[in-house]
Structures are given as structure tokens and as C-alpha cells.
Amino acid sequence: MVLIIVSLLITIDLFSHVGKHITFDAHIHMTTMAQYATAIKDGEFPVTWTNNFANYGLPLPIFAHQLSAYLGALLILLGFSVVAAYNCLMFLAVFLSALSFYCFLRKYANSNQSLFLTLLMSLFPYRIHNIYIRGALPEMIASIFYPLILLGIYQFNVEKKKFALVPLLFSIFFLAISHPMMLFIFLLPAVIYFFLTLDKKNIKIKLFFTSSAVVLALLMATFYLLPLVTEIKYFYQGREQVLINQEEFLNFNNFFTHQWPYFYAHPGPRGNFLQFGLIELVIVILGVVVICVELIKRKFKNFHDYLVKNKLMIGLLLVIILAIFLMSKISQVIYSTVPGFANLQYPWRFLVWVQLFIPLLFFFILQKLKLLNNSYLQIFFICMLLFIRVPQLYGKNYTQIPEDKFYFNQANLHSQNFNTVWSANSLSYPVREIQAELIEGDAQLSIIEVKNASRRYHLIANGPVRLIDYTFYFPGWQVLANGEKVAIEFQDSDYRGLITYRLEKGEYDLELFYQASTIRRISQALALLAYPLFFLWLYYLAKKDIFKNLKKD
């Protein structure tokens, strides 16, 4: 109940206004949800095409965040408005991420301490920024699964519960389809935590089954991950060599200020100023001081024993320091040399490490500094935290948006970089009045049916003709005339990137439809293959006596 109240406190501003507030990305995710709802209404599942996005349609599902899109579409189909569906998902993300983090903390702390530390995580500046400034719904949904991954690792390594690998597997899967970039970012701290909690018994067995759970989870997500990696080459984004934004590293002010700029532009979102959190920085410094003082008191004797005894606290501190390094300009060489880092776009994404590990680090500090570990000081800390952070729980410039604005967009809201390389900016094309028309020759064209990813026309051509379908071509589109395949042209400079095709004199029943490309069919087959493999893996996990050695002595 406390977590529900806290989550309502954090998100109540979303529900107390009519319309939506202006953010950087919320309108993109709302539109994606609406486009998915339209496709599902047309009987398309899984969704592979969005006909009313970027003017003439695009395969948005290649790069759209899957879990938030499908969940939002489900709420819309149940009768929610687009804005209401978005707001409800944001509340659920805030609540469920707090709940999962609380469940993880309970492995270390008592209920009161866990609530206290969960509040610290929930009011972390980056989370507030994601809700009210960035509008980063997929990242907020992804935050549900970070603690669940850590919880699964703890239950497997420490509590020796072999079936903890099952929720671990599905947490990785859902994180992958929520936000694959955040899966990449969270991989390193999860691996570090795994080895920090690993004992020397049955290491090979634990490594084998944990790694196999990770592989199965990624295999289940190949329906999304494989096309994302392989078909991004068809978009301008895929031609970029280095995607890291050099202006988005954190500087001195990001670490030491607690001021939140209001204006970014008018009428734009609030100021896009990322904060590490002054309170959180004090905790990190305190952690360093505590460890240094203890080592000095010991005169650095039995150093190895100290490291072993305090390995988790020291490991958490090192991960946080590494995050600070990766968010600072001095780490630029990492982004230019280490594979994958150049595609992260924003170095401050590593704040997700900080939001999880600082509260846990604070718990270990409280155990060492008994003076701080009392209810009065914790109440004071909570009051100070609420005083600083609660005033920032508001959106800027709430505006009522007509519902139909989410169901058609002339612009590519994901930026021009996500237009296909053979097309121009979608804003440079006129808004279509009809789906198809004759552009050369003499014929009578009748439009029979237009759906999200398919069309049916009837044509009587009095001679050679050329037709256009106002759809941006993408591999997978097919044109059939009386059941026979027709060649598609899409590189004519007069109709750049659009589907055009030619027919001879005659009468035709025309079908145009979008079907999965070869790589998509392969990725879907791999994802389906993962499920029988999962059940075989689960059977092996349950039946083999080899796991009796994982039980507590």
C-alpha cells in the first residue's frame, strides 16, 4: 500500500490535468501505441507495418519498443484514450519498478529499511526526468526488470534456488523487448553482481545454466532483436558510424547542483538538464570515506580478508564510480573503441546503474555507521528528500490533443534518421487524399479495400498503365495482378521511395500486401524454436540430480 501511495504521489500530476504535458518523447510513444492499436484492429498480429506513420507508412515495429507499444495498444483497444493509456502505463511502470526493487532489497534489509531505500530510488532525479521531461515510457517499463534480474541472480547464487533461473530468464526477455539498448547497458553490472554473489561450489554448473538462461531469453526475443540489428541498414540511422552525442556527457554542474531549469524552449518541455543527484553524490562520497577509514584503522592489514568480507559494498561502489567515469568526457575513448558503446547515443543512460546501486550502497553504509541507522535520522532524510524532489513532480504546458492526431502523422516522429535511405523527409511529400491512383495511361481504378498492411483494387486498363500506391516501399511489399507477381519500382526521382508498378492492357484484380522479409521469417522461427528448447531446458533443470548440490548445506 505504501508503494502504491508513493507511486501515485510521483505520477498524480499526469492524472490531475486534462490533456498531455509537453515532453521530448511522450508523443512518439503515444503515437506508436495508437498505430499498433490500428494494426491489431485490422487483424494484424504481430504488428509489422504502420500505414499512417511518417505520412506514407513505415515498418515502425522494426525499431519501436515492443512491450510498451503492445501494452498501450491493448489499453486503447479496451477503450482508454491514447493519453490515458500512456498515463496508466507510466503509473504501472513507476509502481512495479518500485515493487520489484523493494522485493530485491528485502534480501538484504528489513521491511522499513527497504521502504526507505525504495523511496530513495523512486525519487531519483533521472526517474523524475524520464517521467516529466523526457517522457521515456519504454525506459520506465524497462526499469521494472532490472531489480528482477538481480533478484533472480541472488536467489540462484545465494539462496540456491534453481528455479529462480526461470523468472531471471523472462526478466531478461522482457527487458530485451522493452528497451534493447538498456539491456546492453545493464549487462555489465548484472554480470558483476553475479560474480560478487557467486561462491566456489559448482561454479561450472551455475555458469552453464545461468548463461543458457540468458541465451534462451535472447533467442525468444530474436523476433525483434534480429530485424532491428540487420534491417536498420535500410534507414539513415543505420548509416551513421558514431551515434554518441558529444554534448550529452555530464559536467561538474550535473553532479553538484539541485536546481531544475524550467524552460527548454517555448512551448517546449522543461529544461533538459540531467542530474546525478546531490544527495546521491553525498552517499557515494560517504561510501568512499567509510571504506578508506576502515582500511586506515586496520593499517591495511588483512587487506584480502577485508575485500572478501566487504566485496559487495566495494563492488557496488566501483560500479557507481565506473558509471560516473562513463558519463564524463574523459571516457570518450571508450565510445570510439569499444564495440557497441558508440551506438548508445547518450552517455547519461548509465544513470540507471546509479539509481539502483546507490540505495543498496546506502544500506551497507548504514550497517557500518550505527549512528545513522536510527529511525529519527531516517525520517529526517525522508523529509529532506521529499522537500527537494516532490516540487519537481509536475509536467509543463498540458494541452488537449485531438485523438486523431495520434492516428496519423506526416512527420517521422522518431526523427528523419529513421526514414528509409531511398526516400526523402516524409514532410516533403503531400498528405495523400487517396491510397492509390493512376499516374500514366488510361484506366479505371476502383479501390475495394484499404487496410493497415494490405490493399485490394480493381483495374480496367485500356492500354499500358503505371500506378502508384502512396506507401513508402520496404522489402516485404508485394504486388499481385490476378495472382501474378508484379515488379515494384521505388527509385524514380519523381516518386522517390514510393511503390509504383506497371501493367499492360487488361482487367485486373490487384492485391498489395506487406509480408515478413526473409530475415524476419528466420527471426520468428528462431523465437518459436526457443520455446520447445525452454521446456527441454526446464525439464533438465527439474530432473537432473546434479542440482542437489546447489541446496544449502
For the segment 148-193, what is each residue's pLDDT rounded down to a tens digit?
999 999 999 988 888 999 999 999 999 999 999 999 999 999 999 9
DSSP single-letter state for residue 133: I
Residue 552 has pLDDT above 50, yes or no: no
Contacts of 211 (CB under 8 A, 6+ apart): none
- Cis before 267 (ω within 30): yes
**Nearest-5° angle of CA 89, CA 94, CA 95?**
95
Q: 351-368 vs 145-157: helix axis angle to the nearest 10?
A: 50
pLDDT of residue 65: 95
Q: What pLDDT is recorded for position 189?
A: 94
Domain segments of the chain: what residues?
A: 2-143+244-394, 144-243+534-548, 432-514
Cα(255)–Cα(94) distance, integer angstroms: 24
Q: pLDDT (tens digit, 9 = 90+) per residue, 497-534?
A: 999 999 999 999 999 999 988 899 999 999 999 999 99
Q: Nearest to residue 338, comparing CAs of 247, 246, 248, 242?
A: 242
Average pLDDT over residues 225-239: 89
- Sign for the CA dihedral angle at 11, 109, 304, 283 comes to positive
Least confident of 84-93, 126-135, 199-208: 199-208
> 491: which residues sit within 8 A by CB, 6+ positions away?
422, 497
Instruction: Residue 94: count other Cβ atoms within 10 Å of its Cβ.
Output: 25
C-alpha grid cell for residue 551? Answer: 541446496
Tell me the C-alpha to C-alpha distance, in Å, between residue 508 and each of 436, 442, 449, 458, 502.
15, 14, 15, 6, 12
Q: Which residues contact 163 (CB under 8 A, 6 or more apart)?
A: 541, 542
Task: Pick 432-514's CATH classification: 1.10.10, 2.20.28, 2.60.40, 3.30.70.
Answer: 2.60.40
CA–CA dist 62, 380 (Å, integer): 48
Phi-psi region of 234 (alpha: psi -120 to 50; beta: other; left: phi over 0): alpha
Q: What percent of the chain has pLDDT over 90?
A: 70
- Asked if residue 86 lies in contact with residue 49, where contact means CB atoms within 8 angstroms, the answer is no
The answer to whether the CB of 508 falls within 8 A of the CB of 539 is: no
Q: Of 35-49, 220-234, 328-342, 530-544, give the lowest mean pLDDT range.
A: 328-342
Type of residue found at 359: P
User: How many whole angstroms separate alpha carbon 407 and alpha carbon 175?
Assistant: 27
Residue in the block written with cell 565506473: 322
H-helix segments, 262-310: 278-297, 303-309
Report pLDDT for 551. Answer: 47
Q: Burial of 304 by CB count in 10 Å (0-12 exposed, 13-18 middle, 19+ buried)?
A: exposed
State the cell numbers at 330. Answer: 574523459
End-to-end CA distance of the chain: 37
Residue 451: predicted pLDDT = 94
Q: According to the model, what pLDDT value does residue 338 have?
A: 82
Question: How confident is residue 129, by pLDDT bands cut at 50, 70 and 90?
Answer: very high
The overall average pLDDT reported for the chain is: 91
Read off the pLDDT band of 301 (50, 70, 90): confident
Instruction: Inform me whether the pLDDT recorded for 445 exceeds 60.
Output: yes
Q: At what angle do helices 311-326 and 278-297 cross, to 10 degrees?
A: 130
- According to DSSP H, which parts of 298-453 are helical? 303-309, 311-326, 332-337, 351-368, 375-389
Query: Pick the residue with more confidence: 205 or 117?
Result: 117
| pLDDT higher than 60, residue 549 | no
Q: Which of 10, 9, 72 is nearest to 39 (CA)?
A: 72
What is the reported pLDDT for 215? Answer: 96
**Residue 98 pLDDT more than 90?**
yes
Question: pLDDT per residue over 380-389, tens digit each?
Answer: 888 999 999 9
- The answer on pLDDT for 553 being more than 60 is no
Could you tell me the pTM of the whole model? 0.93
Q: Which amino acid is at 183?
A: L
Closest CA to 469 of 510, 437, 508: 437
Predicted pLDDT of residue 550: 45
Query: What DSSP character marks residue 158?
Result: T
State percent of the chain over pLDDT 70.
97
Q: Exposed, middle or buried: residue 157 (CB in 10 Å: 0-12, 13-18, 19+)?
A: buried
Least confident of 238-242, 474-478, 509-513: 238-242
Size of the chain in residues? 553
